[in-house]
Structure 1
Amino acid sequence: MAREQFQNLTEPMYYILLALTRECCGVDIMDMVSQISHGRVKVGPGTLYTLLAKFELAKIIKQTKVEGRKRSYIITEKGMELLRDEYERLLTLATEGKTFLED
């Protein structure tokens, strides 16, 4: 099951899935990750295409079209569930940490 393999998403994974809530090709995904994270997270082609292959194999994303070497993808329903779970996990971490880190 994908949830076990992707129990906790890395930042690049999280931002790639956020970008794929809209249909994107690889170059667009890299641009979106940088834009969404305000330049804090950058994903190179090696990381991106490795993760896209893993996500596709786990049915977290699906390929929507191929134009020559350009491939476009979008997140699946299963991927949205994974992304929402990760979002909730991160909110919980932030909320629990707030008690200890804010005066």
Structure 2
Amino acid sequence: MDAHIKKVYVPMTETGFYILLSLRKEMHGYSIVQQVEEMTGGEVRLSPGTMYGSLSKMEKDGLIAFVREEEKRKIYQITELGIEVLEREMKRIERLYRNMKEAVS
């Protein structure tokens, strides 16, 4: 993982985290918005501008890839680099959670 990717994506924003988490299977933007809202019980709602700006940047940086177009919708999926970034972030969140639990016990 190069320095640019680390600087931009570690730690990740909630938006970036949920996009990569969703794109472990192929999806288009609107289905990502719906999935994130469902996963978070409506606490995280991605606006179209945020969503499509993030998709564009992540595709440019190689974290996700365009797979195909269906009914004028672009379908994306996470790449190997995206998986590496997501796994690093999940470990960071697990560490934060573990440290929080230890501190309040």
TM-score (norm 1): 0.92
- The question of 1:90 aligning with 2:96 is answered no
Instruction: Please name the residue that 1:20 is paired with.
Output: 23
Aligned length: 102
Instruction: Please name the residue that 2:67 is paired with.
Output: 64
Structure 1's consecutive aligned runs of 4 or more residues displaced over 3 angstroms after TM superposition are none
1:15-42 deviation line (CA, Å, top 9, x unaligned):
1111100100011010011112222111
AA at the equivalent of 1:81:
E
Deviates more, 1:93-102 or 1:12-21: 93-102
Distance, in Å, in 1 between the alignment partners of 2:39 and 2:6 is: 24
What runs of 5+ residues in structure 2 fail to find an aligned partner? Answer: none
Instruction: Please name the residue that 1:75 is paired with.
Output: 78
- Per-residue deviation at 1:90? 0.4
Distance, in Å, in 2 between the alignment partners of 1:12 and 1:101 is: 28
Instruction: Please name the residue that 1:4 is paired with.
Output: 7
Distance, in Å, in 1 between the alignment partners of 2:9 and 2:18 is: 14
CA RMSD of aligned residues (A): 1.2
Distance, in Å, in 2 between the alignment partners of 1:91 and 1:35 is: 22
TM-score (norm 2): 0.90
What runs of 5+ residues in structure 1 fail to find an aligned partner? Answer: none
1:49-93 deviation line (CA, Å, top 9, x unaligned):
010011001100000012464101000011011001000000001
